Each structure stands twice: as structure tokens, then as C-alpha cells.
Amino acid sequence: MHAAPRRSLLSSACVAAFAALLAGCAHVAPSDAPAPGAMPAASPTATYTAESIAFPATAFAPDGMTATVLLPPGYAAGDARHATLYVNDGQDRDAVALADTLDRLARDGTIRAPIVVAIDMPADRLGAYGLSDRAAARSLVANTRHGAVGTHAHAYSEWVATTLVPAIDARYRTRATADARAVLGWSLGGLNAFNLGWQYREVFGRVGSFSPSLWLPADSSTPEAAQRTRLAHGQLARATPANGPRLFVAVGTTEETDDRDRDGINDALDDVREFVLGDVAGDTVRAKGLRQLGYTVNASHAVRPTRADLALYELDGGEHNQATWARMLPVFLRWAYAVRAPAIDATGTVEGWHDVPSRHVAARTVDVWLPPGYADDPTRRYPVLYAHDGQNLFDPAQVWTGADWDVDGWMTRLIAGGDMELAIVVGVSNTPRRLDEYMPRAPVVDAGGLLATGVPGIAPVPAAQLQSDAYLRFLVEELKPFIDATYRTRPGRDDTAVMGSSMGGLISLYAAAQYPQVFGKVAALSTHWPIGDGVTVDWFGRHLPDPRTHRLYFDHGTATLDAGYAPFQRRMDAYLRAAGYVDGENWTTRRFDGAEHTEQAWRARLDAPLRFLFGREGGGR
């Protein structure tokens, strides 16, 4: 079982058991083969088109609300669904060059063009834009020399999340999931954008916050009181670690000159840095920031983009005005909607595809490792290994435990030693719905019941939310055709393998059972058979792929969660023999004494499944 690609939410007592369960050349040019679900790069003359929508009066906007919807190039002629970006202060769209910037980035294929909903500010902007406490159904009102700020913040945020978003989803071809929705704002609108993402996590999966008004205090009577009672920082002080939205926080270095705490850093920079990084002196955390709440942070996005949960972008010379926000905008759009993912630290060549969209499941990053010499011979084609939990494969910086599988290192060493044939590896990242996507749906008879996780202390999950069939459709109908069109693969069954560990082992075997004409080889490490009280074992026993055309690898350790796997694996082995599989030929099951249920353990023995799948001696076909 693996961690999702986000930070852990579990206590230290639960992490050991649960981390893995819920736990990014010479080939066809990427622009010639758009990623699955994406539109091709727009033509040089295609542009966004605008529609205006009016909404009835509300308590915070007696004259009603208006929004301008910007539709991507080619929207009217297509049928694709799009991510959606909601923008506060939509009346500033021309001043920040919103449409022009979108057009330019879409035309050159840099981004997957989203639908954009530019929401004109309410008449009472100071009242609507601010922070709220959703659970208490109240606004968090700031007291400033300009008067009260955020008196209607809860009502406005509720309207956006529960009225505007459903209306847009009903009217346009959106991808109606949180991972496909972002919200953006600047100044007070940037503060409210954070509020929308933080309070409505089931609605918004990304937030862009330019020059956010993080200075707003509950008490502005003195500089010391204002520093101590900043509302946004107070929210973090009361928060506990949780999976929140991904964040892009931007600030100009010269937005102001005030320095209320007299530390030599202007307040705009200081407020943002403490909000993101915390107020830290040596080893002492005086006040929590988002980093202390579990966010991985790239504090140098201006220097080198990464795949961290939070990107902090400090714009040298940036001021608190629309011209600065226009400069921040293309950086944010690349962060949120880029076709290509930021580079990772890996041996050899890895090409990352950012948030690959799907008609069936949530978008995710896909990393493609190319074997040594790939660029040297444009006629050579290669077998392909599809590996689940892709963020755990190549770069320890992408893994919350800090330990990756070293797939790139193992492949490089085994190929160099002549122990295996050259192959492409496609790492498919997981999502927060990892268990739902990896648990085989067909074996579960009671679709309305609860499914025991097989992990002591972890509650059952509803069987109705399983998405494994949809996930396999993404792999087979969308991702594999894209990989075969973009890279020089050998696309047949005998040259297509699938691999995973724990729940990833189950979905790997399920892929071959459901699509035996697509996947000819399976490697399932530490397969989590106990889920559903072992319901998958008997189902697989009746639905094994043909031993004349398939090769199956299984293994398990003997410590931690793996300690309970042996009885289930023995039952599976009996089914394999009965189906005609021959141990040591087209099937093997290995036990690794003392091995735990961890990334480190799988890394240590990864050569075994790789040799079985693609080995030159008695290995791959």
C-alpha cells in the first residue's frame, strides 16, 4: 500500500500500516500527438471567445453578479471537456492581459487551454472578498483603518462554490472534479481565492494567489497587535495537517516599504513568507505556516519550477498593481496547465507529462523513462512497462518517505550488464483516490456494501466508490494510444507489461485479467490480498489470463503488513498451477524473508521482477 502523491495525513502509529495503501530525444514530436483528452495546439489564428452571464441578486450583491466566460480555441467545434479556472476581480481581465496571455500559451502548445470564468467584483468588494469559517458559517472580519473587510466573505464564497460552479458545470463542457478546477485572484481577491480553495477542497484543487492581502488583522490598534492578529496566519495556527489544494503564491519584492515587525523585510514579503514557510527562528517554530502543515514547498519557483505542493514565486521588482499581476499570470498558467511537467532528478532521460487529462478518471502526471541510446537509432522500437504509483519510481524528492524505487538506476544497471533488454518505462502517478482506482471492481459482489481494507485500525471503505474499471479504461483507451503514438514502442501484448506493489499489484493483475489482449506480462510485488477479506483471490482464480500467452510474477516479504500475505498467496499459487502456469517458466512467486511493506524493500529487490519481465536469460519473450 502507498502514500498518495501528497503529504501524509496519518499519525505516526498509522503510517507504517497505511502509508502504502493510500500512497512524474528522438521520437515523434509531442505536439504531433496531443496527450489523452487534450486538444491539439490551437492554430495561429484561433483565439478565446467570450460570453457574458448575469446572475440574480444576492444578499451580498443586491444588483446581481456578472461573469465573463472565456472559451478555449476550437471549443465550439469540439467535444472535449476542459479544466476550469475561476478568477476574482474579473473586471481586470483586460488590464492583466488575461485573454491575450491565454491565447499565446494555447497557440504555442505550452498549456492545455482551460475554460476561464472571470467573475466581476461585487459592488461591495471590501465586504465580499476575505476569509471565512465554513464550518461555523461565518465570515472572519478584519478591522482596518479603511473599515471592516470581509463582512460578506462567507456568503460570497458559498455563492461561488455552491451556485456559480454548478451553473458553469451544467452549461459548459467542464471536467467537473476538484482536480480540474482552480481559482485565482490578486490582492483582496487573492486572499479570497485562498479561502475558496482552503474551505472548499472538494470544489477547488488548485489556487493562484497573487499579492494576497495577508496583512488583514482582527485588531489594527497597534503594529504589534496587527502582526499578532493576522487572520490568515491565525487560520493556519488553528489548522491540523490535511490534504488541501495545490497552491501558487506570488508576491512582488517591492510591493510596499512598511515593516511592522522591524525585521528588515517589507510586510508584503514577510506576510507571504511566514504564511508559506512559517515563522521560524533556528529550530523553534514560533508560528506555523503551510510547510508545517505538511505542504512540500518550492520557495524558489522563479529560479526552478518543481512539482512541490506549493510554489512560492517572488517577482523581483514586482509592485502591487495590475502590471505586476500581468507578469505573474503566464507563470501561474504554466504552473497550473502546462502540457509538460517540471523535470525530476533521475538517471537517464525522463519526459514528464503534467496532469494528463482523462474522460474516465482524474488527471495525473505521467513520467516516461527512455532507455540508453533511445535517441541514437530512430528506427528501433522498444517494449513498454507501465508502472503504477509513478511518483515513487524515479526521484526520491517526489516521494513523501524520501525513498524511491530507483527504477531508472536498476534499468540502467541491468541493461548495461546485459541482463535485460532495453525497454521504456511509463510511470503513472496515483491520485488521492488511489484505493478506489486500484481495487478491482469485478470481484466485489455487494456494490452497496463496505469493503474491509485489510489494515488493522483502518475503517472499511464504500464499495460503490471503486473506480478501477474507469482507471483501466484510461490506461488502455487513452494513455497507451498516446504513448504508442508519441514514442517508438512495440505495442503488442507480448511487449506490454504492467507492474505495481500492494494495491498496485492487484490492479496490475486486474489489468491483464480484464485486458488480456493488451497486457502480456505482470509483476505484482507485495500484493495486498487481504483487502475485502481476500475477495480478489477466488475471482482471479476464475479469471486468470491464458498461460500460453502471459507471464506472471508475484512476491511478498515477511515483516510488517507483508507478514499476513503468505496464506493468500498460497491460495493464488494453487489457482495458477490449476490453470496451467508452470513455476519457473511463465510464473514465479518469491518470498523475501525479513522484507517489509515499504518502498525501500521493493527497491532492494526490484531487479527480480525486472529480470522476469525483460531478462535476456529465460525472461521476457
- Long-range Cβ contact pairs of 538-541 (< 8 A, separation 24 or more): 538/443, 538/571, 539/440, 539/442, 539/443, 540/443, 540/509, 540/510, 540/513, 540/572, 540/575, 541/571, 541/572, 541/574, 541/575, 541/578, 541/579
* DSSP-based helix, strand, coil % in the chain, nearest 5: 35, 20, 45
Number of Cβ atoms within 10 Å of the Cβ of 126: 18
pLDDT at 21 over 70: no
Neighbouring-strand partners of residue 555: 525, 590
Q: What are the cell numbers at 247?
A: 497552491
Q: What are the cell numbers at 407?
A: 527504477
pLDDT of residue 41: 46
pTM listed for this prediction: 0.90
Of the candidates 364, 368, 337, the one whose C-alpha atom is nearest the C-alpha of residue 352 is 368
CB-based burial of residue 542 (10 Å sphere; 0-12 exposed, 13-18 middle, 19+ buried)? exposed
Q: How far, in Å, CA of 493 to CA of 540, rounded?
A: 19
pLDDT at 11 over 70: no
3-state secondary structure at position 175: coil
Of the candidates 345, 39, 322, 20, the one whose C-alpha atom is nearest the C-alpha of residue 173 is 39
- Going by pLDDT thresholds of 50, 70 and 90, the confidence category of residue 601 is very high
Of the candidates 547, 526, 546, 544, the one whose C-alpha atom is nearest the C-alpha of residue 606 is 526
Model confidence pLDDT, tens digit, residues 103-141: 999 999 999 999 999 999 999 999 999 999 999 999 999
Q: What are the cell numbers at 376?
A: 541514437
* Mean of pLDDT values over 597-621: 87
Instruction: Give the DSSP letter of residue 121.
Output: P
What percentage of the chain exceeds 90 in pLDDT? 87
- DSSP-assigned letters across all residues of 459-485: --EEGGG--HHHHHHIIIIIIHHHHHH
- Going by pLDDT thresholds of 50, 70 and 90, the confidence category of residue 28 is very low
Q: What is the C-alpha radius of gyration for the chain, rounded to an integer number of angstroms?
A: 26
What percentage of the chain exceeds 70 in pLDDT? 92
- Going by pLDDT thresholds of 50, 70 and 90, the confidence category of residue 243 is confident
* Mean of pLDDT values over 183-206: 98
Could you give the maximum distance between any two Cα atoms of the chain, in Å? 81
Instruction: Give the DSSP letter of residue 371.
Output: P
Between strands 138-140 and 496-501, the pairing is unpaired
Angle between helices 535-542 and 503-514 (to 10 degrees): 20
Provide CB contacts within 8 A for 129, sequence distance 6+.
88, 121, 149, 150, 153, 156, 185, 188, 189, 191, 192
One-letter identity of residue 267:
D
pLDDT of residue 617: 60
Q: Which domains does the chain have, with CATH numbers?
A: 12-23+341-614 (3.40.50.1820), 39-337 (3.40.50.1820)
* Mean of pLDDT values over 578-590: 98
Model confidence pLDDT, tens digit, residues 395-413: 999 998 889 999 999 999 9
- Going by pLDDT thresholds of 50, 70 and 90, the confidence category of residue 281 is confident
Element housing 51 (H / E)? strand 49-55
Q: How far, in Å, CA of 304 to CA of 349, rounded?
A: 18
Residue at grid coordinates 503488513? 561
pLDDT at 588 over 90: yes
Provide CB contacts within 8 A for 510, sequence distance 6+.
440, 442, 468, 472, 536, 540
Q: How far, in Å, CA of 460 to CA of 439, rounded?
A: 13
Please check whether residue 326 is in contact with residue 313, taking contact to mean a CB–CB distance below 8 angstroms: no
Buried b (16+ CB within 10 A) or exposed e, 336-365: bbbbebbebebbbebbbbbbbbbebbbbbb
Model confidence pLDDT, tens digit, residues 330-383: 999 999 999 999 999 999 999 999 999 999 999 999 999 999 999 999 999 999
Model confidence pLDDT, tens digit, residues 49-95: 999 999 999 999 999 999 999 999 999 999 999 999 999 999 999 99
Beta strands in 89-205 (DSSP E): 115-119, 131-133, 138-140, 142-144, 147-149, 181-186
- Going by pLDDT thresholds of 50, 70 and 90, the confidence category of residue 3 is very low
Q: What is the mean pLDDT of the chain?
A: 92
Q: How far, in Å, CA of 304 to CA of 35, rounded?
A: 24
Please check whether residue 188 is in contact with residue 149, taking contact to mean a CB–CB distance below 8 angstroms: yes
